[in-house]
Chain A
């Protein structure tokens, strides 16, 4: 794969763009013109785990960019429809890979074109300092699996490219077990954190007293497991064990939905909990607790 286009150059998109530019010809399709201009004129600066500046093509229109073999849609879930719309009608031979939280991002993008698709989820993280200056913080992997019209070999080829660039990736024959485990974990931890204001700390695993938060966390995860089973997905890691392990680490993680709530930004509730609730409805499984969390987070957004 010689040419790659990154759609949405936020933190995650910028990390893909800058690193992949070391092993491929990379372009960025951005939402804002001044963002594209900054990238074109000043390059993309990486700090933290890396220290270099990448040169890349950038535009707000796909018409201006060379036709890629791989498109990575890396925008936030809340911008997904708009990004897919900008992509519509272009590059029919490319493979389009979505990396958003939750499940269902591929289905949304797939409505805008007949591309072959890969399904991915990423755990790397960073901090954005400006339009063309991003700090690489957590070097965790991107997991990639086949989706519409692709095979495990396609997933491996993209994983190889990402690994060659200096980022981390792992290919799966079937991504769904890992993706669903992560989704159930995320839908639970993010919403509980967003509503309580707690970072992901020991409260999330506490079960001693009847009002301890661990009971709610466990009940939400049990609901999620029922949805996975009814959807024919065998889970990878057990979400509750992921939760217990994560809370035993030294420093408490600040879930993105808590950051969004504190900054009064729109959250990814629709993509995370929303996708789980939609899957539950499709499978005919009741999820009253996740619906409660979804409705409370949406109402909280409405209060700003």
Chain B
């Protein structure tokens, strides 16, 4: 079985390194970061922290070098999906492509380029600390499921989940993976931009009653949009927010969007709050709080151009 990780940042590296420890899986890693790719090919891809792993995937910055694959796992930032899959689609003429990205709307973009798409949501997190080295901060589950308009054979989804699990990234295959996906997007859309707009860590956001209430309003709007689509959340995002705020969990964590804002990088807001607003409009559910937050983050991004 051959798998290509598309976008080998922190999350992509967790999949690439872990899968590469399996003898029956050949792993390729596609990324545009040359230093990272060179380091992987020279020394292997090393994970530290929550797990110590060294994997030896074939890394490349050249999309044309990727051989035909059984599976793709797309792990780029959401705004780079289109370019990444356009360049690599040739490798998946007979394969299935899964997304483990943040937000909603990524499957739709993949479906424009490949024939078999797998919906996916993953909770592990980490950060790239040096070329070829990723700090694995949080372990967590991955869920793969059908994407209705460009479905993959369920046996293939199970095969991918099984490989990930055996490699050390617990994953399960389900018919409908929208529950965990919407739980995660609602969690992210309700907390990430609040950190980005205020500069506060997750724990400090949750300590301020008015700000915590705003997060709840964002959660409630997101739940209403999910419910209108018939999606049953697999857990309450509120519980995830409170759990993450604990001192021993992620109190001091700066949301990825806050890290983006501090580095003046484009954020994933279009696929978080923007995604919820878009699905809300399609299903006739008002989302005024998400609209406001979306506009503020887009305004912030626009201010860097000046």
In the complex, how many residues of chain B place their beta carbon closer than 8 angstroms to a beta carbon of chain A?
32
Report A-chain residues with C-beta under 8 Å of the C-beta of B294.
Answer: 211
Contact B298 A211 (CB under 8 A): yes
A216/B197 in contact, CB under 8 A: no
Distance in Å: Cβ of A299 to nearest Cβ of chain B: 4
Pair A216/B291 contact, Cβ less than 8 Å = yes
Query: Would you call B296 and A195 a contact (CB within 8 A)?
Result: yes
Residues of B within 8 Å of A292, CB to CB, are 214, 289, 292
Contact A215 B214 (CB under 8 A): no
Nearest CB to that of A199 among chain B residues? B306
Decide if B295 touches A288 in the complex (CB within 8 Å).
no
Chain A interface: which of B107-115, B155-163, B198-206? B198-206
Instruction: Summarize A's interface: helix, strand, loop or mixed.
Output: helix
Which chain B positions have C-beta within 8 A of A82? none
A275 to B213, CA, bound (A): 21
Residue of A197, A211, A291, A303 most packed against chain B (CB within 10 A): A211
Binary per-residue interface labels of chain A (280-301) against chain B in the complex, 1 for a CB within 8 Å, 0 otherwise:
0000000011011011101110
Name the one of B204, B277, B288 contacting A219, with C-beta atoms under 8 angstroms.
Answer: B288
B214 touches A295 (CB 8 A): yes
Contact A198 B292 (CB under 8 A): no
Known: A198-B302, A211-B298, A292-B214. A303 touches B200 (CB 8 A): yes
Taking the closest CB of chain B, its distance from the CB of A155, in whole angstroms, is: 38
| 19 pairs of residues in contact across A and B, judged by CB atoms under 8 Å | A192-B296, A195-B296, A195-B299, A196-B303, A198-B300, A198-B302, A203-B299, A203-B302, A211-B277, A211-B294, A213-B295, A289-B292, A292-B289, A292-B292, A295-B213, A296-B194, A296-B197, A296-B211, A303-B199
Given contacts A196-B302, A219-B292, A295-B214, 15 further A-B contacts (CB under 8 A): A192-B296, A196-B296, A196-B300, A197-B300, A198-B302, A210-B281, A213-B296, A213-B298, A216-B291, A288-B289, A295-B211, A296-B194, A296-B211, A299-B200, A302-B208
Ranked 4 nearest A-B pairs via Cβ? A196-B299, A303-B199, A197-B303, A299-B198
